[in-house]
């Protein structure tokens, strides 16, 4: 047989350059000959053995192997009935390069979903209604819909009175962002909440409303969500329910309105004090003054302007009753908030700088806090272009809700996409046990402590193809085929971080690298393998050729077809890499 023909693999297309035939890598040929017993075809029995032994697919049956063979024969030879003796080398190579049949991670939900909510990383958005930058972009329900369709489970809405003070708008306060009516956002959430995942959607509210508008919001959410809305009858949760118990439910989370002072002041015949809590929007405005003691507070993102008003009205009881996850504020300092009042479950919100500081000074207190409570981290206010912070500090300390600007792109967001590709993309990823339980000597996990190597991942980068189908023939270079190389990076605890790259393959739309890299891992449970293809350019910055990010804990061993994504995280139709993953 000898060669694998790209034209036969992908069907007809216009050839802009001469396309060379690509030989299967030596590892592919070796595996085929071994499991085909030296023959020219691999039978269903032999193929099943390959899948179990070489690909590590425990539980794969003869029927599974026959089903896959049937799909391959149908796609390659357009035969409606499986009549061949088995797979030849070209068929086998074709199968290995199909990411829907032979992808690098499991596509089903497979984590235990019956633990309390704080046991999971939760796919969370920040200012989920913004279409672009944080200062002047439009507010819309469209980014909310897109986020939900991607599997995001945490949606943030900033609530403000409209100009007539008789209805509720969603917008980024004190900026030039144009508003969208709250009712439109809520209806979009109802329609799209469970398109991608059945597990609960948590709506975090940044509330700047008067009590009468809070009552209006309560009426709105009950009318729109009905029985989908979850809230505890007792008014306060002693323990968070599980994602399994909350399937197809909507949960509200915000800081409950303050009633005590207002009631007390009414009795005494005085108005309530004009106290002002620090909200996320306030932090947005003062972020550049960080370090000034006047501003160096621990902001919570849900305190509203309601505290500003010298009003003796009671907070809307209906609204308060619907808040299932109460948000707290680090009023007496960050450490105090992390180590006290752990008898009742709550959610605490911190800026990325606060998290960095807490992780540096008292990381194990953060880990302890997240074993019982939910920690949400949001971007600093100077990220006006909707960029994001590095998520690993949050994840290694157990922070469940890292609120990201989903409308942007960049390496941090690619890591977020990568982690939440885990567990079938359902938006909830079970945290490693060591983040939820103490060690054998009653110790808490400390990301700064270097541990012994637990396992080593060997990554083989064989080849890539598909660019000629997804890009114009002059996209990378006007006069010649592209010069591709692949960057392979390990992201995780500090001891596991590493960067490698392949050599540059010049003038080839289908580069063959055939290079191996090894990554010793001390905490493989929190490691992510980031892959980026670049096109070498001698005169300018290297061009972007695609990227992906794979959670190491989810990697399926063996030779795999790795799908590749664009800068915004959208899957490229044809581009993929052929790689092998081995734990040695």
CA–CA separation, 304 vs 568, rounded Å?
A: 33
CA–CA separation, 516 vs 460, rounded Å?
A: 4
Phi, psi (rounded to 5 degrees) for 525: -65, -25
Q: Which one is catalytic: 111, 119, 169, 172?
A: 172
| Token pair belonging to 387 | 């960029």
CA–CA separation, 288 vs 213, rounded Å?
A: 32
Tell me the CB-side half-sphere exposure of residue 534, using CA atoms within 13 A: 14
Q: Strand pairing partners for 478?
A: none
- Per DSSP, the residues of 13-55 read ---SS----BPPPHHHHHHHHHHTTTSSSB-HHHHHHHHHHTS
Beta pairing, strands 124-125 & 401-404? parallel
Element (H, E) at 74: helix 62-77
Phi, psi (rounded to 5 degrees) for 79: -95, 130
CA–CA separation, 302 vs 139, rounded Å?
A: 19
- Per DSSP, the residues of 433-488 read HHHHS--TTSPPP-TTSPPPP-EEEEEEEEEEE-HHHHS-TTSS-SSS---EEEEE
Q: Strand pairing partners for 463?
A: 512, 578
């357009």: which residue's tokens? Answer: 78
Task: Reply yes or no on whether 172 is catalytic.
Answer: yes
Task: Reply yes or no on whether 110 is catalytic.
Answer: no
CA–CA separation, 63 vs 223, rounded Å?
A: 49
């009881």: which residue's tokens? Answer: 317
CA–CA separation, 71 vs 63, rounded Å?
A: 12
Q: Strand pairing partners for 455?
A: 521
CA–CA separation, 313 vs 323, rounded Å?
A: 19
Three-state SS across 117-129?
A: HHHEEECEECCCC
Q: Strand pairing partners for 230?
A: 251
Beta pairing, strands 201-207 & 250-254? parallel
Element (H, E) at 214: helix 211-225
Element (H, E) at 413: helix 411-419
Phi, psi (rounded to 5 degrees) for 105: -135, 160
162, burial (CB in 10 Å: exposed 0-12, middle 13-18, buried 19+): middle
CA–CA separation, 397 vs 344, rounded Å?
A: 20
| Token pair belonging to 435 | 């983040």
Closest CA to 137 of 446, 532, 405: 405
Q: Which residues are catalytic?
A: 126, 172
């Amino acid at each position: 047989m000898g060669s694998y023909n790209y034209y036969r693999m992908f069907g007809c297309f216009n050839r802009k350059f001469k396309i060379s035939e690509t030989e299967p890598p030596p590892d592919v040929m070796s595996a085929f000959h071994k499991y085909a017993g030296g023959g020219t075809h691999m039978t269903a029995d032999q193929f099943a053995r390959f899948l179990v032994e070489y690909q590590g697919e425990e539980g794969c049956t003869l029927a599974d192997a026959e089903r896959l063979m049937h799909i391959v024969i149908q796609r390659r030879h357009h035969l409606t009935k499986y009549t061949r003796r088995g797979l030849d080398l070209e068929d086998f190579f074709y199968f290995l390069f199909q990411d829907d049949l032979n992808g690098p991670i499991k596509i089903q939900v497979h984590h235990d979903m019956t633990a309390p909510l704080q046991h999971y990383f939760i796919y969370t958005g920040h200012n989920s209604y913004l279409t672009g930058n944080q200062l002047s972009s439009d507010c819309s329900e469209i980014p909310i819909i897109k986020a939900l369709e991607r599997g995001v489970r945490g949606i943030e809405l900033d609530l403000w009175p409209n100009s007539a003070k008789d209805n509720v708008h969603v917008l980024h306060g004190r900026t030039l962002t144009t508003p969208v009516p709250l009712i439109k956002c809520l209806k979009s959430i109802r329609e799209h909440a469970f398109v991608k995942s059945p597990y609960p959607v948590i709506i975090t509210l940044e509330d700047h409303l008067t009590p009468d508008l809070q009552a209006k919001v309560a009426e709105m959410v009950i009318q729109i969500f009905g029985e989908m809305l979850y809230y505890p009858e007792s008014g306060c949760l002693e323990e968070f329910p599980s994602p399994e118990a909350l399937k197809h439910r909507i949960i509200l989370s915000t800081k409950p309105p303050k009633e005590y002072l207002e009631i007390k002041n009414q009795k005494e015949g005085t108005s309530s004090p004009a106290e002002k809590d620090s909200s996320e929007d306030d932090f947005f405005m003062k972020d550049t003054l960080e370090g000034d003691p006047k501003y160096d507070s621990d902001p919570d993102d849900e305190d509203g302007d309601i505290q500003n008003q010298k009003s003796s009205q009671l907070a809307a009881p209906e609204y308060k009753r619907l808040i299932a996850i109460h948000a707290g504020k680090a009023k007496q300092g960050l450490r105090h908030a992390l180590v006290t009042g752990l008898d009742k479950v709550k959610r605490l919100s911190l800026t990325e700088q606060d998290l960095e500081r807490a992780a540096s000074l008292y990381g194990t207190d953060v880990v302890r806090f997240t074993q019982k409570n939910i920690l949400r981290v949001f971007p600093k206010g100077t990220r006006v272009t909707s960029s994001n912070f590095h998520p690993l500090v949050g994840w290694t300390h157990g922070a469940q809700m890292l609120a990201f600007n989903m409308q942007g792109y960049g390496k941090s967001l690619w890591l977020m996409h990568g982690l939440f590709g885990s567990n079938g993309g359902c938006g909830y990823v079970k945290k490693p046990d060591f983040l939820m339980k103490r060690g054998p000597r009653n110790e808490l996990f400390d990301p700064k402590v270097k541990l012994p190597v637990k396992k080593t991942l060997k990554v083989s980068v064989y080849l890539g193809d598909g660019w000629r189908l997804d890009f114009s023939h002059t996209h990378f270079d006007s006069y010649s085929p592209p010069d591709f190389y692949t960057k392979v990076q390990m992201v995780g605890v500090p001891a596991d971080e590493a960067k490698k790259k392949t050599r540059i393959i010049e003038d080839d739309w289908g580069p063959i690298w055939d290079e191996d890299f090894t990554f010793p891992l001390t905490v493989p449970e929190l490691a992510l393998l980031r892959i980026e293809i670049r096109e070498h350019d001698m005169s300018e910055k290297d061009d972007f050729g695609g990227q992906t990010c794979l959670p190491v804990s989810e990697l399926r061993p063996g030779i795999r077809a790795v799908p590749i994504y664009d800068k915004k995280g959208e899957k490229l139709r044809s581009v993929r890499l052929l790689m092998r993953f081995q734990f040695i």
